A = this chain, B = another copy of it.
Amino acid sequence: MNKGRLEAFSDGVLAIIITIMILEMKAPTGTTLSSLSKEWPLFIGYVLSYAFVGIYWINHHRILVKANCINGRVLWANLFWMFCISFIPFTTAWAAETDFAKIPSVIYSFNVWMSTISYHLLAYSVLSSNHENCTFHGVMFMNRRNMFTFVLYTFAIVIAYITPLFAYAIHFINAIIWILPNMQEVDAQE
């Protein structure tokens, strides 16, 4: 089974998901800044979900770059993960268009949570098909940052039902936790 085609297909799907979110933002009818500013919830939602999909694209790359064996289990775990991610534009639009109401925010947080679960299923299926790389396990799968993220996302579902904006703050913090170390990585190498 050819790893290149799995990557190409995943990249295609993620490229579409990350780009169609902007299609939800329709051009304002007015010509003033205030008519544009009515779109701020969609803008915030887009920023957050763009960062989310970007983080997963990078992590997906890091899992696959170390995998040698791609079997049917990995393919379907990958398809299930993309299935979960593909709802992000839908749940982002619902949450943003209702000005981050409670139920839509719970569903958005649940969608993010499901994407994380399915990502770990994918990581696990890659792991169980590539036994020999023992070090691979510690780096990729259940490290502390992954666990912390998982707990935060679970917490966000509950908090979204009480104070939706707190849930988005959690998603924002989570994004920072994943993006910042990527930035500093290069310094460690220099």
Binding site for B on A (CB under 8 A): 1-2, 5, 7-9, 11-20, 22-25, 27-28, 31-33, 36, 47, 50, 54, 57-58, 61, 65, 71-73, 75-76, 79, 82-83, 86-87, 89-90, 93-94, 97-98, 101-104, 107, 128-129, 179, 181-186, 189
Contact = CB atoms under 8 A, between A and B. Distances in A.
**A contact face: mostly helix, strand, loop, or mixed:** helix
B5 A83 contact: no
A72 B185 contact: yes
Given A5-B61, A11-B12, A14-B9, A31 B102 contact: yes
Contacts of A23: 20, 23, 89
Contacts of A1: 61, 65
Given A94-B27, A185-B73, A13 B19 contact: yes
Give this chain's copy count.
Answer: 4
Contact of A104 (B31, B73, B98, B183): B31
A117 B9 CA distance: 24
Given A27-B97, A87-B22, A186-B72, A103 B36 contact: yes
Contacts of A183: 72-73, 76
A57 B14 CA distance: 16
A104 B30 CA distance: 9
Given A182-B73, A182-B76, A83 B50 contact: yes
28 contacts: A1-B61, A1-B65, A5-B7, A5-B11, A9-B11, A9-B14, A9-B15, A13-B15, A13-B18, A13-B19, A16-B19, A16-B20, A19-B86, A20-B23, A22-B86, A22-B87, A22-B89, A24-B27, A25-B90, A27-B93, A27-B97, A31-B101, A58-B72, A71-B186, A72-B182, A73-B185, A75-B182, A76-B183
